């Protein structure tokens, strides 16, 4: 078993240069942002002199490597700078808004997986059938829908035409009281204090944006499930299991699906990337107070500390998610840590 | 087994026909693709109205026989704008994908064939790109470099490079020691020729799927950037912007402003996504009978 | 006990219906071992899948009866079939590693079967599984219970598959090419194990194989199949000595055996005298203390540990050994596809081992050393037609102008007996034998002095193998080539080669003239290889 721990620690070690690369890239990106933050900060009636002062105060007069070292130091202290538009520390802003984004993303993935995996399995058990073709068209249509467009369409249908959805503004209608922050996830926090009215209110707000995101991410999961199931079902070990008289459900779920889940888990990383990206668009459509809409506001205002913080936070989040996926994978697949011998 | 094709091109077209007949969905995708190409090439010539001409007296009219897709808040014809936008959207996605295909293929081939430290460095670089949620990275790049169409292309190309590089690397790597690659060496081919002439073409079939999927993503990506105000700017007709502008009117019931450009966008992406499997079958000689 | 009457199986494919099996009648008696032999596509496996009712999608039984101990298997319900599979009739397959679930402990896979057929409860499943592992002679069964398939060798995996098949004491065991892909000594232990276990339990069994020698050695009765039909049946001795059907005779003739010459493998009417070979007696190749060491994860791997030999012009030398013995590594180094760690490869007086791999591709000696690869499918570029494949070395290694090049390709096609109409085809449109011919034509296109043959017939059916071996013998004489023949099959080696080197673990165990080494082996290892190889000569008079 030591091989496996070695692989896991190696995998964690590999994440470190990547994290460093991420920091470098996000630093470079934001230094190249158009607009001079010093001018912005100094205000409308600024003189040359006051702009220079502000620049010095922000450390923008130093050389890039120097700025990078300062930036690294700040980062280690958890300081991402001040947001120009909100006037708050970026770290605080992000921390406050992150749960909203995560709640949305995870809910979407939950919906997506619980539909796409059975769909893929269903398609794989009868390849080439009508069922298979329908699944293919549905998931392809899903991934072809631009998330911002799906969102608008759903709002039009369920809010404007049918009137069953709440107004698409934020996480909770103003008639409800926000639950006390424990995890920041409204569904969990409301459930913790037993406030089911708020819980339902939050769920109602969540369902449309989460569905929008889920539709988009279903396709890769369903495609991969189908392909992996097909290859598992046609493999020799399934034939052995059939020849040994194992029941169909044991073969389908115990043998084939279990093996097929491994490549599916690997694609989850890609799916997360999609989801986190599409998140930004969905947050804008539904006025969702997450870090995506925060970033859009910051972009408009050339608020470089905020943008930098956002890009960095997203990347770190994603690296950590991938790490989790890889480690989960290596715990499930006994071959990890042995294959390279 | 049928007779071998008499000439190469003849067999190729017969093969395309065969693939299309066997798979009606792929045939549909090809028809749609032809439609989009026609729109892209001749769009400005065939539309009934000037896509930029506003007419406030005729604003926010629902679809009618005069204005098939209705008019927007400035009285511009939505149909004309949607069709004219095809060229720009396809141009962005095709050039971005072409760029990433070329760069990704070269990097991936080198890493896959020679391995070693080249491979290690490339992998770390790709890891760094892939460490960002791709749309977020594209946002960052366009924001940093400035709102121009070229920058959208560069950003889209960059985030797609890892897909090609990884795919080509894997495909080249499994064929590096294949019998036919060794045989090519015995036949006096240099390493570079073995790689470029013998191994790389065999990696094309799976690449075709990636290319067509990526063309779809690239359109979505560009439209998404425009939607959040990065990239193409109004009044240029572009699907993403049109949806963004139309979004404000949906809540008040003027659905056509956002619906039609959104549908068109979706249809284009859908076409490319469906195209993938069919393209692979066409490029793969083993599928020929 | 089992009787099959007028069985017919059809497959629905893209090109229409294929009749995989027609009019098959056979029976298996209690305690009997029936062999079904035939070449690829003869329908031997399909027959067994049909009786287990585990045909792939698209396959259906269209006619006939399958009766096992009074039960109508063709019309049994799916539920009854599940009870019969594994409990009454079991099956083992080729490629044992793939036949096991890769991410489930082998012990648990055994328990699955025991529990499915109520042969064990939650409490005693583990003990029963372990005793089953012991029954198939797995040492440290307690430990192996927790092993995953990838941690075990091929032979070990096949024992596990056998354990799973026999766990519920079935009455009939079907073994579908159980030893294909295993080394020859492993093959013997696995086959002996199957034999002793089925005798112990008084089971009947069906052995499906392409290897006549194997069938002759282990079966009580043999049926021969061809193109989905049953050709002939009989006891091994009478069948092999007194075959009635022309196909059976052809198959027997094509199987390499001790007292047959290479021409004897062909049908009598196609036999022509072997052309004379010219040999100058000069040393063409001298290998001196050749070493290859790879850097492995757990320290260096010594693939070849310093071997030396000479090869004279016009002679044929065989490198023989089991997988991992270093024979392919050695041939790759001599072909200059791989750098050696140390030692000399002196070809025509020049140490070609010193020339960089990169430079050797354009070196004037490149055309003098060519190779025929093991897997004809893998060695032909899927995107190149047969013509393009053969043209490739001519284009790069000769000065022929383009018009002459085409003539040369046609000339080569004639030489290897490939019809010109096939030259426009792509590899997937050619049969195995045709692909082998293309591979040979490509290798001899530039008139090499030394031709390295890396198991060129390993993937071919015996009748095709016979033709290809004869083609190689003809070409050698016609073109005055020297062969270095890499093989695991001693019988084939005897037919084609003058001298033989037996390798084990990267070292030479024994070398000398073929007759001498095979008739009076000096080393125990060579002897064990010879003993393990199933042979028709033990039974054919």
Report the C-alpha gap between C422 and C385 in whole angstroms. 9
Does the distance separating the beta carbons of A335 and C102 come in below 8 Å? yes
Taking the C-alpha atoms of residue C186 and residue C425, their distance in angstroms, rounded to an integer, is: 39
Enumerate the residues of chain A whose CB falls inside 8 A of the CB of residue C165. Answer: 243-244
Distance from CA of C331 to the nearest CA of B (A): 13
Q: Determine how many CB atoms are found less than 10 A away from the CB of residue A50.
A: 15
Rounded to 5°, the CA angle B175-B177-B180 comes to 75
Position C540 scores a pLDDT of 67
Contacts of C87 in chain A (CB under 8 A): 245
Spatial contact of A291 and A97, defined as CB atoms under 8 Å apart: yes
- 8 Å CB contact between B144 and A29: yes
Residues in A 252-271 with any Cβ partner in C closer than 8 A: 254-255, 258-259, 262
We find that the CATH architecture of domain A90-300 is Orthogonal Bundle (1.10)
Please check the confidence at residue C354 and state whether its pLDDT lies above 60. Answer: yes
- Kindly report the nearest CA distance between residue B278 and chain C, in angstroms: 17
Does residue B6 carry a pLDDT above 60? no
Contact with chain C for residue A245, Cβ under 8 A = yes
Cβ A146–B240 below 8 Å, yes or no?
A: yes
pLDDT tens column, C302-344: 899 999 999 999 899 999 998 888 898 999 999 998 888 999 9
Q: Are C86 and A250 within 8 A, CB to CB?
A: no
What is the maximum alpha-carbon separation in chain B?
77
Whether the bond into B235 is cis, omega within 30 of 0: yes
Q: What is the pLDDT of residue A36?
A: 63
* pLDDT digit string, tens, across residues C260-303: 888 888 888 778 888 888 777 788 999 999 999 988 777 788 89
Average pLDDT over residues C233-238: 90
What's the DSSP call for residue C63? E
The pairing of beta strand C59-68 with beta strand C71-72: antiparallel
Å between C108 CA and nearest CA of chain A: 12
Which strand (E) or helix (H) includes residue C317?
A: strand C316-320
| Burial of residue C529 (number of CB atoms within 10 Å: 0-12, 13-18, 19+) | buried
A30 at interface of B, judged by CB pairs closer than 8 A: yes
CA distance B23 to chain A (A): 11
Q: List the single residue in A34, A140, A147 with the smallest CB-CB distance to B273.
A: A140
Q: Average pLDDT in the B108-116 region?
A: 88
Q: With contacts defined as CB-CB under 8 Å, which chain A residues touch B258?
A: 149, 152
Give residues 102 to 141 of A whose Cβ lies within 8 Å of B.
Answer: 133, 136-137, 140-141
Q: CA-to-CA distance for B240 and B250, rounded, in angstroms?
A: 15
In chain C, residues with a C-beta closer than 8 Å to the C-beta of B22 are: 14
Summarize pLDDT for C453-481 with one digit per residue, the tens.
998 888 888 889 999 999 999 999 989 89
Chain A residues inside the 8 Å CB shell of C99: 236-237, 239-240
Write down the pTM of the prediction: 0.83
Q: DSSP letters of B194-210?
A: IIIIIIGGGGHHHHHHH
C269 or C157, greater pLDDT: C157
C397-455 pLDDT, tens digit per residue, is: 888 888 889 999 999 999 998 999 999 988 888 888 899 999 999 999 999 999 999 98
Mean pLDDT over C93-104 rounds to: 88
| C437 within some domain | yes
pLDDT at B285: 58
Q: What is the CATH number of the domain that holds C327?
A: 3.40.50.300
Is there a contact between A202 and A171 (Cβ–Cβ < 8 Å)?
yes
3-state secondary structure at position C159? helix
Taking an 8 Å cut-off on Cβ atoms, the answer to whether C104 and A258 are in contact is yes
pLDDT band at B19 (very low <50, low <70, confident <90, very high): low
What residues 41-100 of chain B have any CB closer than 8 A to a CB of chain C? none
Split into its structural domains, chain C has a count of 1
List the beta bridge partners of residue C19.
C10
Residues 254-293 in A contacting B (C-alpha not used; CB under 8 Å): 272-278, 280-281, 284-285
Answer whether residue C85 is part of any domain. Answer: no
Q: Which residue has the higher pLDDT, B247 or C133?
A: C133
Contact B243 A155 (CB under 8 A): no
Please check whether residue A162 touches B, CB under 8 A.
no
Note the Cα C279 to chain centre separation in Å.
Answer: 32
Q: Once rounded to an integer, what is the mean pLDDT over residues B155-179? A: 89
Token look-up 């002095």 returns C449
User: Which residues of chain C does A252 touch, with a Cβ-Cβ cutoff of 8 Å?
Assistant: none
- Contact yes or no for C382 and B188 at CB 8 A: no
Helix H or strand E segment including A276 = helix A258-285
Work out whether the CA dihedral C508, C512, C515, C516 comes out positive or negative.
Answer: negative
For position B289, what pLDDT does the model report? 43
Domain ranges of chain A: 90-300
How does pLDDT run across B175-229, given as a tens digit for each residue? Answer: 888 889 999 988 888 889 999 989 998 888 778 878 888 888 888 888 888 888 8
Whether the CB of A163 is below 8 Å from some CB of chain C: the reply is no
Q: In this predicted structure, what is the pLDDT of residue B5? A: 38
Among B5, B181, C494, C117, CA closest to A250: C117
Q: Are C37 and C252 in contact (CB under 8 A)?
A: no
Write the DSSP assignment of C455-476 as a string of letters: STTTTS-HHHHHHHHHHHHHHH
Task: Say yes or no: B127 contacts chain A, CB-CB below 8 A.
Answer: yes
Instruction: Give the mean pLDDT of C206-234.
Output: 92
Of C166, C57, C61, C192, nearest in space to C110 by CA: C166
Record: contact A311-B124, CB cut-off 8 A: no
In a domain, C350, yes or no: yes
The structure tokens listed for C122 are 């939650």
Rounded Cα–Cα distance for residues A232 and B275 (Å): 26
Kindly list the residues from chain B whose CB atom is less than 8 angstroms away from the CB atom of residue C15. 289
How far apart CA A204 and CA A170 sit, in angstroms, is: 11
pLDDT of residue C386: 93
Q: How many CB pairs under 8 A join A and B?
A: 156
Chain B residues lying within 8 Å of A277, measured CB to CB: 133-136, 138, 224
**Contacts with B1 from chain C: Cβ below 8 Å:** 429
Whether residue A311 lies within 8 A of chain B, CB to CB, comes out as yes
Question: Which residues from chain A sit within 8 angstroms of residue C57, using beta carbons?
Answer: 127
- The set of chains that have 3 or more CB pairs under 8 A with A is B, C
Q: Nearest residue on chain A to B226, judged by CA atoms?
A: A281
Interface confidence, given as ipTM, is: 0.82
Residue C41 is assigned to a structural domain of this protein: no
Q: Say whether C104 and A332 touch across the interface (CB within 8 A).
A: no
A284, two tokens:
């804008």
A318 and chain B in contact, CB less than 8 A: yes
pLDDT band at B286 (very low <50, low <70, confident <90, very high): low
Contact B131 A133 (CB under 8 A): no
B209/C541: higher pLDDT: B209
The number of residues making up chain B comes to: 289
B134-145 vs A2-31: helix crossing angle, rounded to 10? 20
**Axis crossing angle, helix B78-114 with helix B116-130, rounded to the nearest 10:** 150
Cβ–Cβ below 8 Å for B186 and C428: no
Residues of chain A with pLDDT under 50: 1, 339-341
Sheet of C299-312: strand order equals: C299-312, C283-296, C342-347, C350-351
pLDDT at C165 over 50: yes
Cα dihedral value C387, C393, C395, C399, nearest 10: -130
- Residue B117 region, left (φ>0) first, then alpha (ψ -120 to 50), else beta? alpha
CA C377/CA C427 separation, integer angstroms: 7
In a domain, C434, yes or no: yes
Contacts of residue A323 in chain B, CB cutoff 8 Å? Answer: none
Q: Would the CB atoms of C392 and B183 count as touching at under 8 Å? A: yes
Identify whether C290 is part of a domain: yes
At A121-179, the pLDDT tens digits run 988 887 777 888 788 788 888 878 888 888 888 888 888 888 887 877 778 777 777 77
B81/B69 Cα distance (integer angstroms): 10
| Chain A residues near residue C54 by CB distance under 8 angstroms | 239, 242-243
- The DSSP symbol for A254 reads I
- Residues C130-137, mean pLDDT to the nearest whole number: 91
Looking at chain A, which residue has its C-alpha nearest residue B247?
A152
pLDDT over threshold 60, residue C495: yes
- C106 in a structural domain: no
Is the pLDDT at C377 greater than 50? The verdict is: yes
Tell me the two tokens of residue C468: 């290809």
Q: How many CB pairs under 8 A join A and C?
A: 88
Structural domain harbouring C336? 283-538
Give how far C519 is from chain A: nearest CA, Å. Answer: 40
pLDDT at B137 over 60: yes
Across the interface, do B6 and C393 touch by the CB < 8 Å criterion? no
Tell me, what's the pLDDT at B3? 36
Between CA C139 and CA C147 the distance in angstroms is 12
* Residue numbers in A near B243 (CB within 8 A): 146, 148-149, 152
Paired sense of beta strands C33-37 and C507-513, if any = unpaired
Q: Of B179, B187, B285, which is closest to C373 when you measure between CB atoms?
A: B179
User: Which candidate in B187, B205, B288 is best for mutational testing of the C interface (most C CBs within 10 A)?
Assistant: B187
């Amino acid at each position: 078993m030591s091989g496996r721990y070695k692989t896991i620690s190696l995998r964690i070690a590999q994440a470190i240069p990547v994290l460093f690369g991420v920091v470098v890239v996000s630093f470079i990106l934001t230094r190249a942002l158009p607009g001079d933050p010093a001018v912005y900060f100094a205000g409308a009636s600024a003189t040359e002199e006051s702009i220079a002062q502000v620049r010095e105060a922000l450390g923008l007069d130093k050389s890039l490597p120097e700025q990078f070292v300062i930036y690294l130091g700040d980062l280690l202290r958890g300081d991402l700078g001040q947001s120009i538009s909100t006037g708050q520390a970026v770290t605080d802003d992000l921390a406050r808004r992150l749960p909203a984004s995560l709640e949305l993303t995870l809910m979407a993935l939950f919906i997506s997986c619980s539909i796409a995996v059975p769909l893929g399995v269903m398609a794989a058990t009868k390849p080439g059938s009508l069922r298979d073709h329908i699944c293919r068209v549905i998931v392809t249509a899903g991934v072809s829908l631009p998330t911002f467009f799906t969102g608008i369409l759903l709002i039009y249908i369920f809010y404007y035409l049918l009137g069953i959805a709440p107004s698409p503004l934020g996480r909770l209608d103003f008639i409800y009281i926000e639950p006390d922050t424990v995890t920041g996830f409204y569904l969990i926090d409301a459930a913790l204090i037993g406030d089911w009215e708020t819980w339902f209110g939050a769920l109602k707000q969540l369902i449309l944006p989460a569905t929008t995101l889920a539709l988009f991410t279903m396709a890769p999961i369903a495609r991969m499930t189908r392909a992996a199931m097909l290859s598992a079902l046609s493999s020799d070990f399934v034939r052995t299991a059939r020849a040994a008289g194992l029941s169909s459900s044991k073969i389908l779920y115990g043998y084939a699906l279990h093996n097929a889940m491994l490549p599916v888990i690997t694609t989850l990383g890609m799916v997360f990337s999609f989801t986190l990206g599409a998140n930004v668009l969905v947050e804008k459509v539904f006025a969702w107070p997450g870090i995506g809409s925060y970033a859009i506001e910051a972009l408009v205002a050339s608020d470089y500390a905020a943008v930098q913080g956002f890009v960095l936070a997203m990347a770190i989040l994603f690296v950590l998610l991938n790490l989790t996926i890889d480690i989960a994978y290596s715990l499930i697949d006994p071959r990890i840590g042995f294959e390279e011998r | 087994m049928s007779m071998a094709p008499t000439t190469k091109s003849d067999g190729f077209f017969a093969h395309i026909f065969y693939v299309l007949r066997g798979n009606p969905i792929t045939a549909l995708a090809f028809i749609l693709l032809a439609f989009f190409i026609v729109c892209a090439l001749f769009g400005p010539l065939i539309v009934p109205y000037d896509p930029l001409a506003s007419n406030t007296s005729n604003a926010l009219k629902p679809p009618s026989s005069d204005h098939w897709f209705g008019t927007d808040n400035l009285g511009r014809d939505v149909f004309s704008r949607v069709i004219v936008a095809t060229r720009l959207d396809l141009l962005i996605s095709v050039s971005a994908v072409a760029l990433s295909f070329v760069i990704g293929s070269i990097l991936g081939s080198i890493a896959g064939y020679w391995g070693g430290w080249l491979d290690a460095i490339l992998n770390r670089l790709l890891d760094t790109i892939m460490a960002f949620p791709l749309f977020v990275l594209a946002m960052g790049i366009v924001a940093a470099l400035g709102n121009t169409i070229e920058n959208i292309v560069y950003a889209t190309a960059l985030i797609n490079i890892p897909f090609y590089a990884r795919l080509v690397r894997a495909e080249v790597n499994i064929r590096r020691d294949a019998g036919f690659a060794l045989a090519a060496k015995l036949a006096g081919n240099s390493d570079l020729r073995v790689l470029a002439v013998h191994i790389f073409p065999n990696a094309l079939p799976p690449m075709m799927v990636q290319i067509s999927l990526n063309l779809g993503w690239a359109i979505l990506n560009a439209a998404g950037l425009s939607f959040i105000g990065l990239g193409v700017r109004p009044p240029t007709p572009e699907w993403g912007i049109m949806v963004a502008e139309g979004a404000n009117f949906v809540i008040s019931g003027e659905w056509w402003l956002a619906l039609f450009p959104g549908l068109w966008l979706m249809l284009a992406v859908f076409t490319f996504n469906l195209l993938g499997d069919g393209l692979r079958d066409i490029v793969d000689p083993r599928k020929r009978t | 006990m089992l009787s099959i009457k007028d069985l017919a199986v059809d497959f629905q494919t893209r090109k229409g219906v294929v009749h995989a099996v027609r009019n098959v009648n056979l029976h298996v008696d209690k305690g009997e071992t029936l062999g079904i032999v035939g070449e690829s596509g003869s329908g031997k496996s399909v027959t067994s899948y049909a009786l287990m009712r585990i045909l792939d999608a698209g396959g259906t039984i269209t006619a006939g009866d399958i009766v096992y101990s009074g039960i109508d298997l063709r019309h049994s319900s799916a539920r009854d079939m599940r009870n019969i599979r594994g409990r009454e009739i079991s099956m083992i397959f080729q490629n044992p590693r793939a036949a096991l679930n890769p991410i489930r402990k082998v012990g648990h896979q055994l328990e699955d079967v025991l529990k499915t057929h109520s042969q064990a409860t939650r409490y005693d499943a583990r003990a029963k599984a372990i005793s089953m592992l012991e029954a198939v002679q797995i040492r440290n069964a307690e430990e192996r219970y927790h092993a995953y398939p990838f941690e075990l060798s091929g032979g070990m995996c096949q024992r596990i598959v056998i354990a799973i098949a026999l766990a519920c004491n079935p009455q009939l065991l079907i073994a579908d090419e159980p030893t294909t892909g295993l080394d020859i000594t492993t093959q013997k232990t696995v086959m002996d194990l199957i034999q002793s276990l089925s005798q112990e339990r008084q089971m009947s069994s069906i052995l499906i194989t392409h290897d006549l020698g194997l069938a002759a050695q282990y079966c009580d009765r043999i049926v021969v199949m061809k193109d989905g039909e049953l050709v002939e049946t009989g006891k091994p001795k009478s069948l092999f000595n007194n075959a009635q059907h022309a196909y059976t005779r052809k198959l027997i003739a094509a199987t390499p055996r001790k007292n047959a010459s290479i021409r004897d493998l062909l049908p009598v009417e196609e036999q022509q005298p072997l052309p004379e070979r010219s040999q100058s007696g000069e040393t063409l190749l001298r290998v001196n203390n050749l070493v290859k060491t790879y850097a492995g994860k757990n320290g260096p791997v010594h693939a070849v540990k310093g071997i030396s030999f000479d090869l004279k012009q016009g002679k044929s030398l065989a490198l023989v050994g089991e997988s991992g013995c270093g024979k392919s590594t050695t041939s790759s180094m001599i072909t200059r596809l791989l750098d050696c760690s140390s030692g000399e490869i002196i070809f025509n007086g020049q140490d070609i081992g010193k020339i960089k791999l990169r430079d050797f591709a354009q070196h004037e000696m490149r055309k003098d050393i060519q190779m025929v690869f093991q897997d004809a499918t893998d060695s032909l570029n899927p995107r190149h037609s047969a013509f393009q494949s053969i043209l490739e070395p001519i284009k790069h290694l000769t000065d022929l102008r383009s018009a002459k090049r085409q003539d040369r390709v046609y000339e080569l096609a004639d030489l290897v007996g490939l019809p010109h109409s096939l030259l426009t085809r792509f590899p997937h449109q050619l049969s195995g034998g045709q692909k082998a011919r293309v591979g040979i034509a490509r290798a001899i296109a530039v008139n090499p002095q030394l031709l390295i043959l890396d198991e060129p017939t390993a993937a071919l059916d015996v009748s095709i193998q016979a033709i290809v071996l004869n083609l190689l013998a003809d070409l050698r004489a016609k073109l005055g080539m020297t062969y270095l023949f890499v093989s695991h099959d001693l019988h084939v080696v005897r037919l084609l080669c003058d001298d033989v080197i037996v390798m084990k673990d990267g070292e030479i165990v024994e070398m000398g003239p073929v007759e001498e080494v095979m008739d009076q082996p000096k080393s125990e290892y060579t002897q064990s290889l010879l003993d393990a190889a199933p042979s028709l000569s033990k039974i054919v008079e």
